[in-house]
């Protein structure tokens, strides 16, 4: 899956964002092992703690449709610099990505940065950390 295709899919997903409180629309696109693209947008709620980010929406859609691993993800917003996932999204990404999974951070100005989940969340808490000794 090309970086450009994922960023374009995230850009389209951003248009569906429900952001009446912040007016900060975010789109994301994840690709799994099947090479299918799963898109997501941020969905706000008047009870702000119940808001869901675009990245988690895309990932949860992929997992709920049978994917077990995210191979790449793009996220985009109308920001000066390429937008970066929040801490909660980074933790969710770490659950379903390998250390080297490509994460493309983008903005509407055409800027795109390529990161890995290891760079975004070094030393992340993994399910294997829950194994009792």
Residue 21 lies in a domain: yes
Residue 133 lies in a domain: no
pLDDT at residue 128 is higher than 80: no
Residue 25 lies in a domain: yes
Taking the alpha carbons at both ends of the chain, their separation in whole angstroms is 40
Q: State the catalytic residue, choosing from 4, 15, 44, 55.
A: 55
Show the DSSP H helices in the chain as ranges: 3-14, 54-64, 87-96, 117-120
Residue 131 lies in a domain: no
Which range of residues forms the domain containing residue 113?
Answer: 3-123
Residue 132 lies in a domain: no
Band (132; pLDDT cuts 50, 70, 90): low
Q: pTM, whole model, 2 decimals?
A: 0.92
pLDDT, the chain, mean = 94
- DSSP string covering 51-65: -B-HHHHHHHHHHHT
- Tens of pLDDT, residue by residue over 22-41, are 999 999 999 999 999 999 99
| CA distance linking residue 41 with residue 83, whole number of Å | 14
Name the phi and psi angles at 108, rounded to 5: -75, -5
Number of domains in the chain: 1
Helix (H) or strand (E) holding 21: none
Count CB neighbours of 52 within 10 A: 17
Q: What is the mean pLDDT of residues 5-12?
A: 98
| CA distance linking residue 92 with residue 107, whole number of Å | 22
Residue 100 lies in a domain: yes
Residue 47 lies in a domain: yes
Q: Is 44 annotated in the active site? A: no
| CA distance linking residue 73 with residue 29, whole number of Å | 6
- Tens of pLDDT, residue by residue over 99-127, are 999 999 999 999 999 999 999 998 887 77
Instruction: Supply the CATH number for residue 85's domain.
Output: 3.40.140.10
Residue 130 lies in a domain: no
Instruction: Write down the pLDDT at residue 133.
Output: 61
């Amino acid at each position: 899956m090309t970086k450009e295709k994922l960023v374009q899919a995230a850009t389209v997903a951003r248009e569906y964002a429900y952001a009446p409180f912040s007016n900060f629309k975010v789109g994301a696109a994840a690709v799994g092992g099947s090479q299918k693209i799963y898109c997501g947008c941020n969905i706000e709620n008047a009870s702000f703690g119940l808001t869901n980010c675009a990245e988690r929406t895309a990932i949860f859609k992929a997992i709920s449709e049978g994917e077990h691993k995210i191979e790449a993800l793009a996220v985009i917003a109308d920001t000066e610099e390429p937008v970066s996932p929040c801490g909660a999204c980074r933790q969710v990404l770490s659950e379903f990505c390998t250390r080297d999974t490509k994460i493309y951070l983008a903005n509407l100005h055409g800027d795109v940065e390529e990161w890995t989940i290891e760079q975004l969340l070094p030393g992340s808490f993994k399910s294997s950390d829950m194994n009792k000794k």
